[in-house]
Amino acid sequence: MSRSLEETLVAFSEKYEGNFEKILKAVVYKERLTDKEIDKLNDKVDEKYVTVMSEDYPEVLKGTNCPPIVMFYEGNMDLLKGEVYQLMSPFDITKRLFFKMESTNDGMDYFIGCENSQDLVKLVDFFIDQHPEMNFKNYRDGDALCI
């Protein structure tokens, strides 16, 4: 069975925990993963994501230093039309966090993304818990309700 490049990139992202340099090296040196390995790695992913190969990959991310090969995210990716802020993760300074917020009549809309699917929920929870006064929208139940 032939796998798409996107499936393979997500599998490499899982294998190398989002490490840009390791993923890039795997791709450049044409590291091979079996279909079984790709399935096993991708089965761990529950989060929404885009890859550099996705049609909807935000242009603003392409302009960053070492654009994320795979971006796991929660929130409204449409907020990334103009700019995105890049920070070090509060849990591991070797990892990056990308975010953008916008105040709306219904509460605070946001985008939070990272390169490791295992980190996403922890990062979103941390960010929202630090700012309960901001009335963030809730994207976890499929609806953007304020939390």
Among 33, 44, 47, smallest CA distance to 2 is for 33
Q: Which residues contact 101 (CB under 8 A, 6 or more apart)?
A: 79, 108, 109, 110, 111, 134
Q: HSE on the CB side for 132, CA within 13 Å?
A: 1
Mean pLDDT of the chain: 88
Cα–Cα distance for residue pair 132/116, rounded to 1 Å: 25
Q: Residue 43: which residues within 8 A CB-CB, separation 6 or more?
A: none
Average pLDDT over every residue of 126-133:
88
* pLDDT at residue 141 in the model: 65
In the chain, what are the domain boundaries?
5-146
pLDDT tens, position by position, 53-111:
999 999 999 888 889 999 999 999 999 988 899 999 999 888 999 999 999 888 899 99
Stretch 6-14: mean pLDDT: 94
Is it the case that residue 51 has pLDDT exceeding 90? Answer: yes
Give the H/E segment covering residue 107. strand 107-114
Q: What is the DSSP letter of 127?
A: H
- Please tell me the predicted confidence (pLDDT) of residue 147: 41
pLDDT of residue 138: 85
CA 44 centroid distance within chain? 14
Q: Residue 121: which H helix or E strand, with range?
A: helix 117-130
